[in-house]
């Protein structure tokens, strides 16, 4: 690929972005990136603080004697670790393979077959570049003190923000660097709940060895994406498509399911899924005919948005696990999963295009003694968020199956204030720099500002960032020239916030 130093300004940003991409940093595995951030601060003799959960803060003192203003710049250190099935990549040790591509008359940075991690490597790189340039004197922000906050485990459940030591930061303003459109700034977000449900597995041997054939049904080639930002784009959910197929087959034939697998992270729309089931040899021709009729009908629902959707049924010869789901257990489970919705549930009544409440059926896994599903619900109001959870819980109760619900994360909404000083200033700076109006919005995805706004109610907050598309999927890419645009805005924005304080 191109030398990153030739991608644009500031050079410091691109150098840091490359170095960050070489460091494994999946959620809950942030030790190496945290040490890297700490080492960079130590080079310039800046103080660092690390709290009990692993968040780190660097304090960059003012060049002048008296600090007039204190501002927090914030990003998260972890990334979504997703890859295509045909890619050999170990996220625990392998560096990302960066490359540039041309698309839609733009130059983009992406990674070969994996997520790029621009979410939120761009935030880390902006922070470290500002720190370095202040130290070497090429950037002077006068009487400004900066707290550079780097949080952990944002992607898995915002636990770095939710469990942060409240004494880590203070300031009048907080600028979150985790947004993904350079002409839209975020000042509010939905709250959410992530929970898993474990069903006690009931197995039996339902067919004699000589009568059964193991087959595999797989769903692949979907776009996926962010379960908040992309939930209203009509993209297919691989888990729900597979369940739809299994329900139709289970309702029409005497089949025995052995395993169901699909999805990974709660905040990613699942792209791939598969199930292994036994069929009677006498049913094979009829099931082949049946699936050849329904597969094209399902694909036709997504033929514009999901052109690469692939649904396959294949006989497998190297599978010798004799047990399958108990018949009653199987029917109840498949009926339940078929009823659980996914996607937008309610649209915002006045903000066009804004999802008010949604559900992501994020994953399903067959484990030794249980079936585990993971669900993420989001809403702009706490009431609707709770209500949707209760509706899912009611469906589960009706099955009579033995289950256990585990709440993994509950996070609040961030209520937007369109008249705050930080919002008005951002609009003026953007207009002055680019002779255009920036869009100020609330989003359906969750942001760490939801927690910060509760911890520090007097602190004014905004979220900004360059153009990133296809986040949380191996097609994630960063628009290169957008990086310099947001850099120029950010530096002027900081200067103006100092002036008005």
The token pair that represents 355 in the structure block: 């999802």
Band (352; pLDDT cuts 50, 70, 90): confident
Write down the pLDDT at residue 305: 95
Write down the pLDDT at residue 43: 97
Among 1, 397, 413, 17, residue whose Cα is nearest residue 9: 17
List the catalytic residue out of 12, 119, 147, 154. 154
26 touches 120 (CB < 8 A): no
**pLDDT tens-digit profile of 171-195?**
999 999 999 999 999 999 999 999 9
Write down the pLDDT at residue 29: 96
Does residue 68 register a pLDDT over 90?
no
Portion of the chain with pLDDT greater than 70, in percent:
97
Band (376; pLDDT cuts 50, 70, 90): very high
Does residue 351 register a pLDDT over 80?
no
Band (207; pLDDT cuts 50, 70, 90): low
Decide if 244 is catalytic. Answer: no
Q: Where are the domains of the chain?
A: 4-190+413-500, 192-411
Average of per-residue pLDDT values in the chain:
93
354 touches 347 (CB < 8 A): yes
**pLDDT tens-digit profile of 52-65?**
999 999 999 987 76
227 touches 237 (CB < 8 A): no
d(CA 361, CA 377): 9
0.85 cut: is pTM over it? no
Decide if 78 is catalytic. Answer: yes
Residue 262, beta-bridge partner list: 273, 364
Does residue 209 register a pLDDT over 60?
no
192-411 and 4-190+413-500 share a CATH fold: no
Write down the pLDDT at residue 44: 96
Write down the pLDDT at residue 445: 83
Of residues 151 and 352, more confidence is placed in 151
**pLDDT tens-digit profile of 80-97?**
998 988 899 999 999 999
159 touches 84 (CB < 8 A): no
CATH superfamily of 4-190+413-500: Zn peptidases (3.40.630.10)
**pLDDT tens-digit profile of 12-54?**
999 999 999 999 999 999 999 999 999 999 999 999 999 999 9
Band (66; pLDDT cuts 50, 70, 90): low
Average pLDDT over residues 102-108: 93
Residue range 192-411, CATH number: 3.30.70.360
10 touches 122 (CB < 8 A): no
Does residue 78 register a pLDDT over 80?
yes
Does residue 210 register a pLDDT over 80?
no
Band (472; pLDDT cuts 50, 70, 90): confident
Of residues 316 and 330, more confidence is placed in 330
Query: Taking the CA atoms of the chain, what radius of gyration do you get in angstroms?
Result: 25
Band (482; pLDDT cuts 50, 70, 90): very high
What values do phi and psi take at 98, rounded to 5?
Answer: -80, 150
SS3 265: coil
Question: How many angstroms from the chain centroid is the CA of residue 53?
Answer: 20
List the catalytic residue out of 78, 178, 181, 280. 78
């Amino acid at each position: 690929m191109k030398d990153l130093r030739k991608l644009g300004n500031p050079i410091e940003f691109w150098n840091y972005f490359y170095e960050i991409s070489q460091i494994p940093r999946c959620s809950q595995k942030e030790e190496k990136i945290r040490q890297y951030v700490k080492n960079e601060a130590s080079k310039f003799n800046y103080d660092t603080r690390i709290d009990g959960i692993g968040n780190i803060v660097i304090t960059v003192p003012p060049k002048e004697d008296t600090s007039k203003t204190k501002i927090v710049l914030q990003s998260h250190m972890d990334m979504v670790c997703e890859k295509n099935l045909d890619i050999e990549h170990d996220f625990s040790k392998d560096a990302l393979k960066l490359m540039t591509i041309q698309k839609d008359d733009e130059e983009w940075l992406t990674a070969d077959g994996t997520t790029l991690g621009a979410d939120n490597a761009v935030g880390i790189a902006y922070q470290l570049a500002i720190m370095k340039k202040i130290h070497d004197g090429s950037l002077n922000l006068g009487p400004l003190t900066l707290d550079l906050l780097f949080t952990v485990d944002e992607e898995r459940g915002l636990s770095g923000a939710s469990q942060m030591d409240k004494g880590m930061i203070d300031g009048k303003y907080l600028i979150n660097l985790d947004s993904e459109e350079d002409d839209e700034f975020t000042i509010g977000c939905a709250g959410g709940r992530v929970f898993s449900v474990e069903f006690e597995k009931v197995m039996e041997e339902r067919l004699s060895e000589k009568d059964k054939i193991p087959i595999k049904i797989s769903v692949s080639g979907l776009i996926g994406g962010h379960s908040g930002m992309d939930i209203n784009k009509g993209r297919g959910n691989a888990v729900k498509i597979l369940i739809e197929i299994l329900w139709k087959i289970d309702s029409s034939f005497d089949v025995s399911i052995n395993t169901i697998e699909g999805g990974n992270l709660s905040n990613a729309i699942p792209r791939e899924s598969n199930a292994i089931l036994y069929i009677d040899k006498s049913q094979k021709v009829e099931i082949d005919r049946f699936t050849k009729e329904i597969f094209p009908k399902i694909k036709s629902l997504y033929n514009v948005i999901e052109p690469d959707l692939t649904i396959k049924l294949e006989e497998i010869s190297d599978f010798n696990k004799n047990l399958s789901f108990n018949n009653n257990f199987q029917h109840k489970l498949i009926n339940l999963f078929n009823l659980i919705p996914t996607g937008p549930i309610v649209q915002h009544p006045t903000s066009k295009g804004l999802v008010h409440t949604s559900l992501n059926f994020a994953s399903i896994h067959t484990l030794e003694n249980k079936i585990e599903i993971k669900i993420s619900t989001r809403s702009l109001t706490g009431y609707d968020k709770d209500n949707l959870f209760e509706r899912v819980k009611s469906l589960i109760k009706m099955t009579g199956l033995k289950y256990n619900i585990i709440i993994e994360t509950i996070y609040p909404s961030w209520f937007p204030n369109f008249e705050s000083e930080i919002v008005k200033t951002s609009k003026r700076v953007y207009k002055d720099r680019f002779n255009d109006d920036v869009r100020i919005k609330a989003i359906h995805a969750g942001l760490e500002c939801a927690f910060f706004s509760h911890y520090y109610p007097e602190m004014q907050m905004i979220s900004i960032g360059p153009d990133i598309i296809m986040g949380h999927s191996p097609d994630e890419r960063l628009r290169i020239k957008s990086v310099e645009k947001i850099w120029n805005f950010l530096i002027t924005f900081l200067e103006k916030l100092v002036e008005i304080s």
